[in-house]
């Protein structure tokens, strides 16, 4: 097992569409590495794009069950009209947070690492994590969908408190020396534009 390097905002792979994986191509070693990387970096989810791979694979924690899901070729098959807004961060944009509107409930069809079909019903935080990770597989980042007025840097993070400081998209782009923001609306089916 190995902790894989996580690519950051501005890396071209974060803007690419991940490609479906055939059951016989499923690489369990790579999946174990993705899980180890997510856990080592204290993430709630990780998409293959973030470790510079275009395999359509995500790993995600289901918070209430404290369970790790591995989803191959995940597709959102249904979603609630109802949405909720909460803060998100991303291992590819460390030290930053913003609030994002997401569908409250989603249904995801995918393959398990054994190549079996699976349907996942997710709500709340777990639905949010899956939407964030499926976005990655479609070349979309959470700040593309975020309310940019809520963008903050996390400062002096300790066990007891996290200080925040307002951030602007300009600052973020300067920090990563990149300018490639694309505004994306709520719908999970929106493809990335002009990538």
Residues carrying an active site annotation? 133
71 binds Zn ion, rule: CB under 5 A? no
Total of residues contacting Zn ion (CB under 5 A): 1
Q: Which is nearer to Zn ion, 59 or 90 (CB)?
A: 90
Q: What share of the chain is helix, strand, coil (3-state, %, to 5)?
A: 25, 30, 40
In degrees, to the nearest 5, what angle opens at C-alpha 155 toward C-alphas 170 and 93?
50
Task: Give the nearest residue (CB) to Zn ion.
Answer: 90
Question: Could you say which residues in the range 147-176 bind Zn ion, by CB under 5 A?
Answer: none
Q: Which of 59, 90, 127, 151 binds Zn ion (CB under 5 A)?
A: 90
188 binds Zn ion, rule: CB under 5 A? no
111 binds Zn ion, rule: CB under 5 A? no
Shortest distance, CB of residue 14 to Zn ion, whole angstroms? 9
Query: What are the C-alpha distances in Å from 143 to residues 65, 78, 89, 112, 158?
Result: 27, 23, 9, 29, 24
Only one residue has tokens 């997401």, namely 102
Q: Where does this chain touch Zn ion (CB under 5 A) — which range of 53-61, 64-72, 89-97, 159-167? A: 89-97
4 binds Zn ion, rule: CB under 5 A? no
d(CA 118, CA 24): 17
Q: Where does this chain touch Zn ion (CB under 5 A) — which range of 56-64, 69-77, 85-93, 170-178? A: 85-93
Nearest to 118 by CA among 158, 63, 60: 60
d(CA 69, CA 21): 17
Residues found near Zn ion in the complex (CB under 5 A): 90
């Amino acid at each position: 097992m190995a902790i894989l390097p996580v690519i950051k905002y501005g890396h071209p792979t974060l803007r690419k569409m991940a490609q479906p994986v055939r059951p016989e191509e499923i690489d369990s070693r790579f999946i174990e590495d993705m899980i180890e990387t997510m856990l080592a970096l204290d993430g709630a989810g990780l998409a293959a794009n973030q470790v510079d791979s275009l395999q359509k694979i995500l790993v995600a924690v289901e918070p209430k069950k404290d369970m790790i899901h591995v989803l191959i070729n995940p597709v959102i098959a249904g979603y609630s009209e109802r949405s909720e807004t909460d803060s998100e961060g991303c291992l590819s944009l460390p030290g930053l947070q913003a609030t994002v509107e997401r569908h409250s409930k989603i249904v995801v069809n995918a393959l398990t690492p054994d190549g079996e079909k699976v349907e996942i019903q997710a709500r709340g935080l777990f639905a949010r994590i899956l939407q964030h990770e499926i976005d990655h597989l479609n070349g979309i980042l959470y700040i593309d969908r975020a309310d940019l007025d809520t963008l903050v840097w996390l400062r002096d993070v300790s066990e007891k408190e996290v200080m925040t400081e307002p951030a602007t998209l300009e600052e973020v782009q300067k920090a990563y020396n990149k300018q490639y923001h694309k505004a994306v609306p709520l719908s999970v089916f929106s493809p990335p534009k002009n990538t």
